[in-house]
C-alpha cells in the first residue's frame, strides 16, 4: 500500500512499470527499490531458507545483510538495493539459487581510472561536511555513495533536528538539511560526486575499487588519503520469533515509510526507547500506522525526554523494565508478547501481555561500519573515520565531526590549516547524552497577552527557540554555559508563534486569558493532517500524556515554511499551562489481546540470521566443547553467512556470557574481509565499457 497523503512529505508519483513476482503480474514505480515495490504490493516474504524452509523478509533495507535476497531474472540479488525496471521477473529465492547458464561473451575493457587527493566514502552529513572542508582547503575530492541521493540517513528523517542553529541547522527537518548539504557540496568544483557507486575495497597501493551496479562498471580510484563516513548498521536482538518476516530495523521502517512512501505496516510495536525508537514511533503515527507501544528493558528512557513526552501525549504507551518475550505468527508477524523483567532482567511471565501487530521494529542501537578504516590502518595510508562510522551520535554531531575530520585529513596531507578549538568543544556538546532533568512550575499571566509555556525539562543540546524570538525573550539559563542549558522565558511575547513552530520537541505552547470567565486560549503545534473546524472538541494531554479533559478548537493556521499547524484551543483556565498536546491515537487501538501467549522458548531464537543458527544450538555447542575462541562457533556456521557476520558477531559475546563463558579469556572473532557482491562481467567491464 502506498502513502498518498502525508503531513510533511509530498508524494511524488513515478512512472509505473509492470513486473511479476512468482508469476503474478504486479505494478511498481520505475527506479524504486524492488523491496519497496514488493511491500507496496503486500509481499513480505522474499525467500525461504534451506533450514526448516523458514520464510525470510527484510531486516536492514540498506544492503548490509542478505535477508531480502530474491531471484531477479534468474540471479540472486538484494532487493533493497536493486532498482525496479519494466518487465523484471522476480521470484522467491527458495534455498539456494541455481547457477545461471553461461552469458554471451563480450569484450572486456580495462577499468576506468580516476584520481584525487582524498576519497570520501559515504555522502551522509559527516561525509559531505568533510568533503566541503577539504575542497575549500584546495584538495581534489571524490565523494562516493551507494545511494542515488546525497544526505545519508537524513533523507529518512522528517522531524526537526535538535542541536545548534548556527552549526547544524537545528530546527530544520532532516530531509531539508539533506537538500541544503547537497547544494553546498555540488557548488564545489573540486568535488567529484559518484552516486549509485559502491566502494568494494581500499587497497594498500593507494587505490580503491568502485562498483557501479546500474552501469555494470568497475572503476579504480587513486587517492592520497581516505575519509570513511560509511555510517552504521542496525543491531539485531535475540528472542523467539526474531526471524519472522515483519521483524526489522527501525531504519528499514523509515526507509520504506519516509523515503519510499510505502505503508509498510498497520500495527507496530517498537523495541528500544532511545531517540531512534521514539522518532520511529512518531514517523509511524504520521504515516497513519498504529503504534501499540514502545518497550525497553531499562528502567528509564534513554532518548530525549521531549521525544518521549511527545509520543506519550499522542497516545503511545512506553513500557519500561519490560522485555519482548516472543513474537508469534504463521509465516509472518501476527502477535508480540511482552512482560516485565525482574532484577536480573529475566521476564516475569505472569505479567505478560500480548498485542496484535504485524510489525516489530528493532531500535536497540547501531554498530559502526568502519571496515575501510581498519583496512586503511593496516595498509598504512592516511585514513580517518567520522560520523557514525567513528562514534554513534546524532546527525548534528556528525556534521561537526565531518568538518573536523576534513581539516584533520588536510593536515595529514601536509596542510597547516588550523582546526578551531571551539569546533571540538561544540562536537563534544552535540554528542552528549541527555543531562539532568529539572522540575518547572508554570504560572500565568504575568501581564495581559500571550506567554510561552516551555515544556522542556531535560538538558539536551538544543537552542532553536532562543534564536527566533523577535523580542529576544527566550534565553538559556546559563547553568552549564552551553546549549545544554534549559530555555526560559524572560521578557515580552507578541504571540507570533515562532518558538512554537521551530521547537524540535514540540515542547512550547502559548497561553493567554480568554475573554470568557474561567477559560483560556492555548496555541500548540500539530504535525498531522487534520480536518478540525471551529467548535470541534479535542482531548487535551499534559506533558506526561495524562488526560486533562477536552478543549474547543477556535481556529487553525498552517505554516508552509515549517510544515506545522498551529491549533488555537479554548480550555479551562486552570489547565492552560499544563496543556502540552492533544491525543492522536485512540486508547482502544493500543489495548492488549484478552489472553496473553505465555509460550516462551528462548532456545528457538535465531542468533545468526544468515545460517539460522539458534540460541539452543550455540548453548549445546558450548556445553560439549571448551570454548576459548569465538571463532570456534564457526564450526556450527555462526558468522559464516552472506552478511559476513555483521549482525551476529555483535550478539555472540552476550550469548556466551549468558552461557557462563569467561569473556576475559575468550579470544575475539576474526572478522571476515568486507565484501561487496560484484559480478565478474562488471570486473571485466563487459557491460559498462570505457564510458
User: Residue 310: which of 524, 463, 523 has the closest Cα?
Assistant: 524
Instruction: Please give the residue that has the higher pLDDT: either 460 or 682.
Output: 460
Instruction: Please give the residue that has the higher pLDDT: either 588 or 659.
Output: 588
- Contact between 161 and 170 under an 8 Å Cβ cutoff? The reply is yes
- Contact between 611 and 643 under an 8 Å Cβ cutoff? The reply is no
For residue 617, which phi and psi values (nearest 5 degrees)?
-60, -45
Report percent pLDDT > 70 for the chain. Answer: 98
Confidence of residue 498 (pLDDT cuts 50, 70, 90): very high
Q: Cα–chain-centroid distance for residue 223?
A: 31
Confidence of residue 103 (pLDDT cuts 50, 70, 90): low
CA distance 268 to 283: 12
pLDDT at 687: 63
Instruction: Please give the residue that has the higher pLDDT: either 595 or 678.
Output: 595
Please say if the pLDDT value at position 14 is more than 90. Answer: no
Q: Taking residues 256-277, report their average pLDDT.
A: 96
- Contact between 193 and 151 under an 8 Å Cβ cutoff? The reply is no
410-435: per-residue pLDDT in tens?
Answer: 999 999 999 999 999 999 999 999 99
pLDDT at 179: 96
pLDDT at 333: 97
Confidence of residue 43 (pLDDT cuts 50, 70, 90): very high
165-202: per-residue pLDDT in tens?
Answer: 989 999 999 999 999 999 999 999 999 999 999 999 99
- Contact between 602 and 659 under an 8 Å Cβ cutoff? The reply is no
Report percent pLDDT > 90 for the chain. Answer: 81
Widest distance between CA atoms in the chain: 87
513 is written with which cell numbers?
Answer: 486569558
Name the pairing type of β-strands 564-572 and 581-582: unpaired
Please say if the pLDDT value at position 505 is more than 80. Answer: yes
CA distance 280 to 153: 13
Name the pairing type of β-strands 613-614 and 564-572: unpaired
68 is written with which cell numbers?
Answer: 531480502
Bridge partner residues of 144 (DSSP): 121, 194
541 is written with which cell numbers?
Answer: 494531554
> What is the pLDDT of the chain when averaged over all its residues?
93
pLDDT at 682: 83
pLDDT at 691: 46
* 199-203 contacts, C-beta under 8 A, 24 or more apart: 199/119, 199/121, 199/144, 199/372, 199/676, 200/675, 200/676, 200/678, 201/375, 201/674, 201/676, 202/119, 202/121, 202/226, 202/372, 202/375, 202/376, 202/379, 202/383, 203/379
317 is written with which cell numbers?
Answer: 504507551
Dihedral sign for Cα atoms in the order 274, 279, 280, 285: positive
User: Residue 546: which of 581, 504, 501 has the closest Cα?
Assistant: 581
User: Residue 161: which of 346, 399, 369 has the closest Cα?
Assistant: 399
* This model's pTM is above 0.85: yes
Q: Taking residues 281-308, report their average pLDDT.
A: 97
218-255: per-residue pLDDT in tens?
Answer: 999 999 999 999 999 999 999 999 999 999 999 999 99
* Angle of CA points 184, 203, 205, to nearest 5°: 105
Taking the alpha carbons at both ends of the chain, their separation in whole angstroms is 39
CA distance 229 to 269: 31
3-state secondary structure of 402: helix
3-state secondary structure of 377: helix
Q: Of the segments 328-332, 441-445, 598-602, which one has the largest average pLDDT value?
A: 328-332
Please say if the pLDDT value at position 120 is more than 60. Answer: yes
| H runs (alpha helix) in 216-344 | 250-254, 275-286, 305-313
Confidence of residue 101 (pLDDT cuts 50, 70, 90): confident
405 is written with which cell numbers?
Answer: 575530520
- Contact between 354 and 591 under an 8 Å Cβ cutoff? The reply is no
Please identify which residue in the block is written with the cell numbers 576534513. 406
pLDDT at 11: 85
Please say if the pLDDT value at position 106 is more than 80. Answer: no
156 is written with which cell numbers?
Answer: 529518512
276 is written with which cell numbers?
Answer: 531512534
Please say if the pLDDT value at position 214 is more than 70. Answer: yes
pLDDT at 496: 95
- Contact between 463 and 504 under an 8 Å Cβ cutoff? The reply is no
- Contact between 219 and 691 under an 8 Å Cβ cutoff? The reply is no
3-state secondary structure of 262: strand
CA distance 127 to 193: 11
Please say if the pLDDT value at position 639 is more than 50. Answer: yes
For residue 339, which phi and psi values (nearest 5 degrees)?
-155, 155
473 is written with which cell numbers?
Answer: 525573550
Amino acid at each position: 500500500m502506498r502513502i498518498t497523503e502525508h503531513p510533511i512529505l509530498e508524494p511524488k508519483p513515478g512512472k509505473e512499470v509492470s513486473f511479476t513476482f512468482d508469476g503474478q503480474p504486479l505494478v511498481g514505480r520505475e527506479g524504486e527499490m524492488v523491496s519497496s515495490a514488493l511491500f507496496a504490493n503486500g509481499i513480505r516474504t522474499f525467500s525461504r531458507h534451506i533450514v526448516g524452509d523458514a520464510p525470510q523478509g527484510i531486516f536492514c533495507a540498506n544492503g548490509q545483510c542478505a535477508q531480502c535476497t530474491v531471484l531477479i531474472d534468474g540471479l540472486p540479488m538484494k532487493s533493497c538495493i536493486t532498482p525496479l525496471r519494466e518487465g523484471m521477473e522476480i521470484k522467491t529465492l527458495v534455498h539456494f539459487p541455481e547457477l545461471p547458464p553461461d552469458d554471451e561473451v563480450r569484450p572486456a575493457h580495462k577499468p576506468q581510472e580516476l584520481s584525487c587527493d582524498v576519497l570520501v566514502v559515504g555522502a551522509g552529513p559527516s561525509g559531505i561536511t568533510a568533503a566541503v572542508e577539504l575542497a575549500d582547503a584546495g584538495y581534489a575530492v571524490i565523494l562516493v555513495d551507494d545511494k542515488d541521493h546525497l544526505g545519508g540517513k537524513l533523507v529518512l528523517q522528517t522531524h526537526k533536528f535538535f542541536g545548534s542553529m548556527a552549526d547544524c541547522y537545528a530546527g530544520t527537518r532532516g530531509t531539508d538539511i539533506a537538500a541544503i548539504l547537497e547544494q553546498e557540496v555540488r557548488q564545489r568544483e573540486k568535488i567529484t560526486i559518484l552516486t549509485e557507486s559502491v566502494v568494494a575495497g581500499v587497497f594498500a597501493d593507494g587505490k580503491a575499487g568502485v562498483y557501479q551496479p546500474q552501469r555494470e562498471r568497475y572503476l579504480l580510484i587513486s587517492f592520497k588519503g581516505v575519509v570513511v563516513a560509511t555510517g552504521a548498521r542496525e543491531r539485531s536482538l535475540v528472542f523467539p520469533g526474531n526471524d519472522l518476516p515483519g521483524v526489522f530495523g527501525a531504519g528499514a521502517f523509515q526507509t520504506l515509510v519516509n523515503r519510499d512512501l510505502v505503508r509498510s505496516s498497520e500495527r507496530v510495536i517498537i523495541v528500544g526507547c532511545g531517540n531512534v525508537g521514539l522518532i520511529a514511533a512518531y514517523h509511524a503515527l504520521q504515516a497513519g500506522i498504529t503504534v501499540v507501544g514502545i518497550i525497553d528493558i531499562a528502567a528509564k528512557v534513554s532518548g530525549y525526554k521531549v521525544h518521549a513526552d511527545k509520543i506519550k501525549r499522542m497516545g503511545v504507551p512506553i513500557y519500561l523494565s519490560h522485555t519482548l518475550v516472543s513474537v508469534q505468527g504463521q509465516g509472518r508477524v501476527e502477535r508480540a508478547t511482552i512482560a516485565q523483567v525482574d532484577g536480573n532482567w529475566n521476564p516475569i511471565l505472569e505479567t505478560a501481555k500480548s498485542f496484535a501487530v504485524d510489525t516489530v521494529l528493532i531500535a536497540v542501537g547501531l554498530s559502526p561500519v568502519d571496515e575501510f578504516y581498519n583496512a586503511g590502518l593496516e595498509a598504512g595510508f592516511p585514513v580517518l573515520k567520522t560520523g557514525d562510522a567513528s562514534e554513534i551520535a546524532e546527525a548534528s554531531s556528525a556534521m561537526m565531526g565531518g568538518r573536523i575530520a576534513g581539516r584533520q585529513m588536510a593536515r595529514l596531507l601536509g596542510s597547516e590549516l588550523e582546526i578551531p578549538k571551539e569546533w571540538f568543544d561544540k562536537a563534544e556538546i552535540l554528542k552528549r547524552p541527555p543531562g539532568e532533568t529539572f522540575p518547572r512550575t508554570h504560572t500565568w499571566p504575568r501581564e495581559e497577552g500571550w506567554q510561552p509555556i516551555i515544556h522542556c525539562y531535560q538538558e539536551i543540546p538544543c537552542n532553536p527557540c532562543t534564536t527566533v524570538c523577535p523580542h529576544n525573550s527566550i534565553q538559556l539559563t546559563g547553568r552549564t554555559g552551553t546549549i545544554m542549558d534549559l530555555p526560559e522565558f524572560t521578557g515580552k511575547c507578541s504571540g507570533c508563534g515562532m518558538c512554537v513552530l521551530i521547537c524540535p520537541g514540540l515542547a512550547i505552547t502559548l497561553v493567554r486569558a480568554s475573554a470568557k470567565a474561567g477559560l483560556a486560549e492555548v496555541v500548540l503545534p500539530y504535525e498531522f493532517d487534520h480536518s478540525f473546524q471551529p467548535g470541534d472538541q479535542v482531548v487535551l494531554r499534559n506533558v506526561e500524556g495524562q488526560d486533562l479533559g477536552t478543549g474547543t478548537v477556535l481556529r487553525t493556521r498552517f505554516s508552509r515554511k515549517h510544515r506545522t499547524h498551529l491549533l488555537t484551543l479554548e480550555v479551562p483556565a486552570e489547565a492552560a499551562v499544563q496543556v502540552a498536546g492533544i491525543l492522536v491515537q485512540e486508547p482502544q487501538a493500543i489495548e492488549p489481546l484478552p489472553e496473553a501467549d505465555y509460550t516462551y522458548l528462548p532456545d528457538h531464537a535465531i542468533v545468526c540470521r544468515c545460517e539460522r543458527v539458534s540460541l539452543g544450538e550455540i548453548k549445546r555447542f558450548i556445553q560439549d566443547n571448551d570454548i576459548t575462541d569465538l571463532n570456534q562457533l564457526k564450526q556450527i556456521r555462526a558468522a559464516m553467512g552472506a552478511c559476513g557476520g555483521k549482525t551476529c558477531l555483535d550478539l555472540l559475546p552476550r550469548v556466551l556470557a549468558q552461557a557462563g563463558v569467561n569473556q576475559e579469556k575468550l579470544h575475539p572473532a576474526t572478522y571476515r574481509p568486507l565484501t561487496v557482491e560484484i559480478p565478474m562481467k562488471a570486473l571485466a567491464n563487459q557491460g559498462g565499457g570505457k564510458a
